[in-house]
Amino acid sequence: MELAEALASNETTSCEIVTALMERIAEIDAPGSEIELRSVLTLAPDAITSAKRCDEERFQGLLRSALHGVPILVKDNIEAVGLPGSAGSTALLGRPVPHDAPLVSRLRDAGLVVLGATNLSQWANMRSPFSTSGWSAVGGLTLNPYRLDRCAGGSSAGSGAALAARLAPLAIGTETDGSITCPASLNGVVGIKPAVGTVPGEGIVPISSSQDSAGPMARTVRDVAALYGVLTGGGDTEERVSRGTDGARIAVATNMTTGHPATDRLFLDAVGKARGAGWSTSEVSVHEADASVDADELTVLLSEMCDDLSAFLNRRGGEGPATLAQCIDFENQHRDVELPFFGHEFFDQSLASGGRAGEKYHDARARNVAWAVDECLSPALRDVDCYIAPCYSPAWKNDLILGGSGSARWSQVTQAPAIAGWPIATVPMGVVDGLPVGLSIVGRPGSEATLLAVAAGFEGLLDLERSDTLMPTFIRPQNG
């Protein structure tokens, strides 16, 4: 909102802001630059033109929203005219996006300037159990701006890293299970995955219609709330956020820990400050998943992806794979580009699942929802508005050779809301050895404004942004 206020007071222009951000991206982010952060996959060819148009409209007093003229980055699994919409795969390159996804239309209608597309974990990280988060065949590996050998999270890695590196004030991510939460935590930014269906999902490369959702990301809760209002068509989100935690009943999920001692201590410190400030808090034990829950969720994701990704590829048009089976063949034929570090085991399993018509899907989905809603979320939220927990340990080291998440530690805070399609917000709670960690807030569908209000309360209580605690240092790879 600082940029929006600067634009409103005529201290600067949208064109000046967009030009400066493009120069910074060229300086530290692009291939061949000083750092090669690789968070921005490509710039929008019409960004300067759009910024000039916004400046002209502002001069004429034609403001479309409070974010008029503010630049934004869009994750590259979201279709936006002029951007690749590649999901990180060369299978979609050269196949022009025919029209904006509805959420992108909402951004443009509100006067935001689409600056470019962010890199991501290819196919939103649903391709292999051995994948390295933040890597795609199109964009390479996104680095963490705090330490360049560390993970930027997945799958919205580029959105999180670009925000932390001050390459844009706003970004859009998507989450199926953890893909906004993780990069928000690892990069020290704010994000919310709204309840499924709150933000239009058309025009987004799909994994799961029951779990996918796009959501706003930014460096402050205030900015996320403003962008959330644009994405959802308004409401009282900003007004509710401005009231902070007033009246909110918050439960602390005492059993949800990351297993990383310093991260969990930081969470308890944040809880202690909240109680010291007089917040209404209680404690709750949230039912955790076992291997059967994990297996059911994987069955659901693989089955839904089998149907939905094929349908998306067919609708996209242009030359290239039009089904999941053809996409697998394409990757096998271009394995030196598409599969240099890990395979596409999940694609193979998805194709073999038979989709929603497969014999395992419906029972798995029913069990999954019953576990998430009846055993976890409803009991945990019975007498409160939300519950909180730490989400991820500090960013782990990238490893393209061995893949996977290495020494990563995380709580189970994302899984139940992901399966149920309920909202989850994440806000920074501090740093551990110079690396950010976040706190997540879970609530019922329709409670997004309350979740952001609680996030704003922690943001004010911890005062990390103002103290420059969350300023990236771009430390080069090191031992240890």
- Which residues carry out catalysis? 75, 155, 179
Burial of 455 (0-12, 13-18, 19+ CB in 10 A): buried
Give the whole-angstrom CA distance, residue 292 versus residue 297: 9
Identify the DSSP state of 31.
Answer: T
Q: What distance lies between CA 241 and its chain's CA centroid?
A: 20
The two tokens of residue 306 are 């089998």
Q: How far apart are CA 473 and CA 480, in angstroms?
A: 17
Judge contact between 324 and 306, C-beta under 8 A. Answer: yes
DSSP strands (E only) in 305-446: 386-390, 424-432, 435-443
Q: Which amino acid is at 169?
A: P
Please tell me the distance from the alpha carbon of residue 87 to that of residue 84, in angstroms, as a whole number.
8
In DSSP notation, 100-168 reads --HHHHHHHHTT-EEEEEE--SGGGG-S-TTPPTTEETTTEEPBPSSBTTBB--SSSHHHHHHHHTTS-
